Structure formats: C-alpha cells, structure tokens
Amino acid sequence: MKRPFTIAALVGFAVGATAALTQTYLRQTDTHFVKTSKGIARIHTVRDENNTPVRVLQLQGAYESATYLDGNRYEPVFAYQQAFDHVFEEHLPSNEILMIGGGGYAWPKHVLSTKPEMQITVVELDPSITALARKWFYLDQLLEEIPDATDRLKLITADGRNYLEGTANRYAAIINDTFTGKDPALSLATIEALRITKTSLLPGGIYATNVVSEQEGEDISFLRDVVTTLNEVFAHVVVIPCEDTSFGLEDNYLVLASDLAHSFSETLPYDDDFLRNVLRDSR
C-alpha cells in the first residue's frame, strides 16, 4: 500500500533539493571555506569585466586577494597589486624587498616569476592564510616550477610591527598590504610605526602602502591622514591612483615614500590643504 504524501515528506524533499542545489552551486563557483584567525574565509571563482575566471579570497566582506586560473596565474589581478611595480621604476639600493601582509601572495608570485634578481621576504600573521595561498593560489606550484624560487622567497609568520621592531635586516623596499577585511592595520600606519619602518630601509629605499577609500570613494580621510603622517617621517611622499572597476566599489591608492626624490609615474599632485591628521599610537 502506498504511503500518504505527508508534510514531513515535502519538507524532506525540499531540504534534499536545497542541499543538492547548494552542492551544485558550490561546484559551479569553485567555493571553499577556510577557517582563519580573522574568521571564515570564502574562496570562490568570479569573472572579471572580460569574462575571465578569477579565484578570489573573500574575508569579512572584502576581497583580500585573487588569482587567474590560466597561464597568467602568477600575474596580479588587482590594479593596486600591479601598481606595487612602481618601486621598480627607480634604481633600488639592493635586491631585497620586504612585504608585510601575504594574503594570496599575488605580488610575491609576480616578483618571483618576473624579477629573477629579486629576493622577497613576506611577513604574514596568520599561518592559515599562507596555507590557503599554497593550496588555492598556486604558491606551491610556483615554488616547484621556478627552480630558485624557494631560495628567493622567505616566509615569516609574525606580526608585521613586531617583526620590524625586532629585525636587523634592511631592505630596498618595504611593501605594506595589511588589512583585516576592509579595515587597514592601524598599528603599521602611525608615526611611531613608520619611524620603526624607516630604520629597516636602506638609504634611498622606498616604502609603499595600499590605502582604500570609504563610502564608495567619497571618503578619503584615511588617505589624507596616511599622507600627512608619512610626510612627517620621509622627505618625499607621492600618491598614485589604482582604479579597479571589476572588483569592489572603493578606490585604492598607492602611497610611496622615500628620503630620495624618485621620479614615479602617474602620481597625483596635492598641496598642504590635502594634509589632515598625524596618526599616532593610542595612549
């Protein structure tokens, strides 16, 4: 005898169908969830304005890194990561670079694959971020494909400021790309932190930091504060816009600072009225 089609059966069918659809969705978008110290990271695939598949690392509502899935997998996706190459426009005092904030290791992969003379140290606070970069963002593959990459890349698990306070190493360039979701790491943006950072630069070395706007580009208060603070520490500070229409509503700006007058391209002029507040450690 056939059993009556009950409400429970309907619910069971709906749950099963939802689970099946969810599994299909996860497969179609290449979605993976990874626990990090900042919360659950979502790794999934989107398409850029050219319909090219791009795997992204999303954490606390923000894209922290990305990679192409084809032969361009070692090239940075985001415009601001591409803009870090401005440090190579001028002669660097050595071949050693420090990057604080690994994320998906997009720019370090680019440097290792295109600048065979460069050595790069990456300081990343969260070992789970480095682990997912190895697995999902082709870091391990690059280290296998490029014979000397393991010798030219040094991975350090540490807080960026703590590392700067304790290291005796000095670098040609220091790149700061530290965020917690959408929020910058203020511990590296204060005048006290920047004075410490400067001691880790060689004479004529370059400090570069990524700064993001708020309120869909309308609020650049933090950019103004960063530029103001850097002007208290370095002789020369420039701003370069990094427009990226495919990923995110906010604007990115690359801020470069040095005691040597470098001739960087694509800089935005600013005057004293642009300057705002000096960022300081909280008392």
Q: d(Cα 157, Cα 163) in Å, to the nearest integer?
A: 9
CA angle 246, 185, 47 (to 5 degrees): 15
Determine the Cα–Cα distance for residues 163 and 145; give it in Å rounded to an integer: 29
What is the mean pLDDT of the segment spanning 35-44? 94
Partnered with residue 124 across adjacent β-strands are 157
The pTM of this model reads 0.88
Instruction: Please report which confidence band the pLDDT of residue 30 belongs to, taking 50, 70 and 90 as the band edges.
Output: confident
Average pLDDT of 70-97?
A: 96
Q: Which has more pLDDT, 2 or 146?
A: 146
Average pLDDT for 129-141: 98
Residue at token pair 């290449």: 30
Q: What is the pLDDT of residue 185?
A: 86
Domain locations in the chain?
A: 79-274
Task: Tell me the CATH number for domain 79-274.
Answer: 3.40.50.150
Q: What is the DSSP-derived secondary structure letter of residue 248?
A: -
Q: Is the pLDDT score of 17 beyond 50?
A: no
Instruction: Please identify which residue in the block is written with the tokens 């350090």.
Output: 156
User: What is the rounded distance in angstroms from the CA atom of residue 30 to the CA atom of residue 56?
Assistant: 10
**What average pLDDT does range 82-110 have in this prediction?**
97
Mean pLDDT across 216-226: 94
Interaxial angle between packed helices 191-199 and 221-233, expressed in degrees from 0 to 180 and rounded to the nearest 10? 50
Give the model's confidence band at 247: pLDDT under 50 very low, under 70 low, under 90 confident, else very high.
Answer: confident
Instruction: Inform me whether the pLDDT recorded for 180 exceeds 70.
Output: no
181, pLDDT greater than 80: no
Mean pLDDT, residues 14-35 taken together: 59
| Residue 65: burial class (beta carbons within 10 Å; 0-12, 13-18, 19+) | buried
Indicate the DSSP class of residue 152.
Answer: H
Mean pLDDT of 52-77: 94
Contact present, 122 and 89 (Cβ < 8 Å)? no
Q: Which residue has the higher pLDDT, 191 or 13?
A: 191
Q: For the chain, what is the mean pLDDT?
A: 90
Residue 68 confidence (pLDDT): 97
Give the pLDDT band (50/70/90) at residue 61. Answer: confident
121 and 99 Cβ atoms separated by less than 8 Å: yes
